[in-house]
Amino acid sequence: MYSAPVGILERARVEWFAAAFGLVVGTTMVFVPYEFGAALFQHIYPHVRPLGSLFLVGSATMLVAMLYPGWNAFVGWVGRALFVGAVAFYWWSTAVLNSSLTGSILYPLMVGALLLERTARFQGRGLLGVFIACVALSFGGLMALNPQTYQRFSLLESVPLVRWMGVLFLAMGALLAVGAWRQRPGACRLALGGLGVLFVNMTFALGARASWAGMGVYAVLAVSCLVLLLLRRVPAPAGVRWRLFRGMALASVLPILGLGAVTSTLAQSALEVELREKARQAVAAETAWLDQTATVASSMLRAQSRDAAFVAAARAGNREGLRERVDLLENDSGLFDAAWVLDATGETLVASSRLKRSGNFSDREYFQQALKGGDEVLLSRPFLTRAGLPFVVFTAPVDLGGGGRLILVAGLSLQRLGLHPTLASRSYHVELFDRRDGSLLRETNRGDVLTRAPVLGLLSPESLAAPEGMAEAFDARGRRLMVAHAQVTDTPWTVVVTARLREAFAPVTRMGAWVVVIAALAGAIALVLSQWVGRDVAQRLEALRDGFASLGTPALEGGQRVQARGDDEVTQLASGFNDMAARIDRTQKELREAIAIRDQFLSMASHELRTPLTPLKATLELLIRQSEAGQELNPERKRATFARLNRQVDRLTRLIGDMLDVSRLQSGRFTLTVAPMDLGALAHEVVERIQSSRPERQGLLSLELPQAPLVGRWDEQRLDQLLTNLVENALRYSPPETPVRIRVVEEPDGVRVDVEDRGIGIPRESLSQLFTPFYRAHNATEHYAGGLGLGLAICREIVERHGGLIQVTSAGPGQGSCFTVRLPRAAVVEAAA
């Protein structure tokens, strides 16, 4: 009979410690992988989830082999091989490559003791006490000799305190070794208690510094010391209670952990994709704004430099006329902060009223580039003006004829550019720099511009050379960063959005931690209940647990999430859960459909309404400026301008009309006003109207009518809308030189209208959904020509309200299409009656 705890020390195996260590480290890697984003783990971070899975599988296999010693020894060796492989990679990557002495000592000691236990000499004996003593002696020597390096292992970062910790480690380790050798239970208890306190201190110290991996290692060491201290005897692995405990350990704890790991990994991957997508969207939004700014600036400067009145004033040497145009750019554009005009030698003809600087600027790089740049608008490198202000300028040459030219310069202040609020989330750091020299143009912190961009200290310019991309880097403190970058089109600018992965993924980390805690609690409760709760109840409760885990996922069609058996309270609970799950499924489906329809409508409606409003606004602003400047348009140009405005107003009217029609359809207020009418005459009128509005299609619209009038009781206004939509669609999605045929045919029970084109055709898979509101075929989206996707849905409603039928046929993309409408006569008369 062994005297506790000496006897326990002699039988306590390192394999139990290794399994617990592997489960803790593997769970941390799988559930909270972003905690391994520090520079210390840079070699394992790309493989952290597979490595964590290897730890989990190896540790779980070792645990199974220890719980079921009667199984084939091959199972245990497989687990140990997987575990040793994971530890070896982890040790080399984190300890050896980073020169970490504690890790370089701890992991080889653990693996060596684990393998020694399987030899014949140590058969039936454990080396956990020897392992703990060796770790204590090693750590004590390192801390006593070099306390500055190990201050992170103490809650109080004090060099003398760390040195005393090293002395205590040496004393407790020696005491444990001597006590075990000399069979002194009191010395072993004292040593185990002291080492447990020291390892707890290290656990909390690393936890305070958010080092989860190190905290897990020393937490397992602390728990091992406390278990060896408090345990009075080694439990005998026999009896029904042990078998039930063992069975529940495998049937509940490990599956929960495995399923939770898979679920957490999938959730983390999805959230990681979402976070990366948000970073890309932030870059895209910032890039789009800068692209728009640069494009508008270039267009405005190009238009001004080629304006006939401006060129005439320049040729005549009319500086007052030039001054008016420069002031217009500088004060009324809302874009430029300064503008000036230079002659071919660099002398100032018209100075900026804001900068109030004149003289010769021929030494400036932007002037030299403008002389060599031909007729293009050029964007300069950032520079300091003579007033000490950071600027970038756009330059445009003004051709005076006869080889003479001026240079029109418009400047953009980087200070004002930096004051513009960023479009990215506050958790992101945004930079804008010039790729030509790496100069910083703008950043979230509004730092010193014209310095070297901070991101270039993290990544090489070559890694940012692609038009857009994602990368990861480490900052000066060893924290992992996610870097999204994109180039601004037609400029030498690059936008960079940087996010610290640890902060960005903090919600995911907390979720993973709670999953681990909940899984651990659930496993502990299941093991306790397994001692007295019957198997039947346990199985049904596990079924309920799995059902709750599957909430939010579609249930099997016609099946229940949880099988309800019997007539007790558990059965009632299962039935109630099935009802709740069914309601949740229905509600989620309805919500997803409603949200999808709303988002699709809002996106298309906002785009389509903005499309005509933008040219309307631009044209009106131009007319206002010309009116204020006293410039009269010639009659031909005035008619063209008014015609363009009228077309945009007509487009808005059609869009709003379509939206009102859909609203009437959904509210049941879509009614018909039927009266006797001639369908042939209406078709002829529609074709003539469209032909006159599209002179480029002259002769390509053909109409075939019967000789006799086609009179019936229909709603003339709605049929006009129907024919117009079909013919306009045929023209819109057909090449300019292809014909469109409209046929109106009398049939025994009514009339048939065919609208046939040789356009882009319709894919076979899109035919069945073509009349659904907001739906567009894939090739129609690529051939986008405006509209909300409501026209064909309204056409179908008009035809069906008349008691008719509308169909479409197409041989496929590029093969054209034919829309066929059949309208009854008698049915409409009866409906009207």
Read off the DSSP letter of residue 488: P
Q: What percent of the chain has pLDDT over 70?
A: 78
Lowest model confidence (mean pLDDT) among 49-58, 454-463, 610-619: 610-619
Stronger pLDDT, 645 or 223, i.e. the higher one = 223
Give me the pLDDT at residue 626, please. Answer: 73
What is the pLDDT averaged over residues 733-746? Answer: 88
Stronger pLDDT, 18 or 591, i.e. the higher one = 18
What is the pLDDT averaged over residues 407-420? Answer: 87
H or E element that contains 809: strand 805-809
Tokens 């026209």 label which residue?
791
Q: Concatenate the DSSP letters of all residues of 344-402 into one string.
A: TTSBEEE--TTT---SB-TTSHHHHHHHHSTTS-EEPPPEE-TTS-EEEEEEEEEEEET
What confidence tier does 754 reach under pLDDT thresholds 50, 70, 90? very high
36-39 long-range contacts, Cβ below 8 Å, gap at least 24?
36/213, 37/479, 37/480, 37/501, 37/502, 38/211, 38/478, 38/479, 38/480, 39/474, 39/478, 39/479, 39/480
Give me the pLDDT at residue 105, please. Answer: 87
Bin 166: left if φ > 0, else alpha if -120 < ψ < 50, else beta: alpha
What is the pLDDT averaged over residues 443-454? Answer: 79
**Taking 70 as the threshold, does the pLDDT of residue 215 lie above it?**
yes
Give me the pLDDT at residue 362, please. Answer: 85
What is the pLDDT averaged over residues 395-411? Answer: 86
Stronger pLDDT, 738 or 553, i.e. the higher one = 738
Start-to-end CA span in the chain (Å): 106
What confidence tier does 330 reach under pLDDT thresholds 50, 70, 90? confident
Please return the burial class of 343, using the count of CB atoms within 10 Å of its CB with bins 0-12, 13-18 and 19+: middle
Q: How many helices (H) and strands (E) does the chain have?
A: 25, 18
Lowest model confidence (mean pLDDT) among 327-336, 485-494, 675-684: 327-336
Q: What percent of the chain has pLDDT over 90?
A: 6
Q: What is the pLDDT of residues 643-660, one digit of tens each?
A: 777 766 766 776 676 666
Closest CA to 542 of 555, 525, 560, 559: 525
Give me the pLDDT at residue 603, please. Answer: 61
Alpha-carbon distance 144 to 128, whole Å? Answer: 24
Cβ atoms of residues 325 and 333 within 8 Å: no
Give me the pLDDT at residue 557, please. Answer: 46
Give me the pLDDT at residue 772, please. Answer: 76
Alpha-carbon distance 654 to 649, whole Å? Answer: 9
pTM here is: 0.50
With b for 16 or more beta-carbon neighbours within 10 A and e for fewer, the 215-245 pattern comes to bbbbbbbbbbbbbbbeeeeeeeeeeeeeebb
Closest CA to 495 of 192, 344, 279, 314: 279
What is the pLDDT averaged over residues 132-145? Answer: 88
Residue type, 256: I
Give me the pLDDT at residue 830, please. Answer: 37
Strands 817-824 and 750-757: antiparallel
Alpha-carbon distance 62 to 38, whole Å? Answer: 30
What confidence tier does 317 reach under pLDDT thresholds 50, 70, 90? confident
Q: Six-digit token pair at 435? A: 């790729």
Residue type, 496: V
Cβ atoms of residues 9 and 128 within 8 Å: yes
What confidence tier does 822 reach under pLDDT thresholds 50, 70, 90? very high
Stronger pLDDT, 608 or 85, i.e. the higher one = 85
**Taking 50 as the threshold, does the pLDDT of residue 828 lie above it?**
no
Q: Six-digit token pair at 790? A: 């409501």
Inter-CA distances, 499 with 47, 132, 459, 559, Å: 21, 41, 14, 45
CA 508 to chain CA mean position, Å = 14
Highest-pLDDT range among 150-164, 219-233, 248-262, 735-749? 735-749
**Taking 70 as the threshold, does the pLDDT of residue 495 lie above it?**
yes
Residue type, 594: A
* Residue 407, C-beta contacts closer than 8 angstroms, at least 6 positions apart: 341, 342, 343, 344, 367, 370, 371, 395, 396, 397, 398
- For 360, list phi and psi in degrees, rounded to 5: -100, 125
What confidence tier does 827 reach under pLDDT thresholds 50, 70, 90? very low
Stronger pLDDT, 594 or 696, i.e. the higher one = 696
Alpha-carbon distance 290 to 420, whole Å? Answer: 11
Read off the DSSP letter of residue 251: I
Give me the pLDDT at residue 7, please. Answer: 65
Alpha-carbon distance 724 to 716, whole Å? Answer: 12
Stronger pLDDT, 541 or 404, i.e. the higher one = 404
* Residue 27, C-beta contacts closer than 8 angstroms, at least 6 positions apart: 52, 56, 257, 261, 516
Give me the pLDDT at residue 39, please. Answer: 65
Highest-pLDDT range among 41-45, 99-103, 243-247, 359-363? 359-363
**Taking 50 as the threshold, does the pLDDT of residue 833 lie above it?**
no
**Taking 80 as the threshold, does the pLDDT of residue 393 lie above it?**
yes
Cβ atoms of residues 484 and 283 within 8 Å: yes
Give me the pLDDT at residue 2, please. Answer: 42
**What integer best gives the mean pLDDT of the chain?**
79
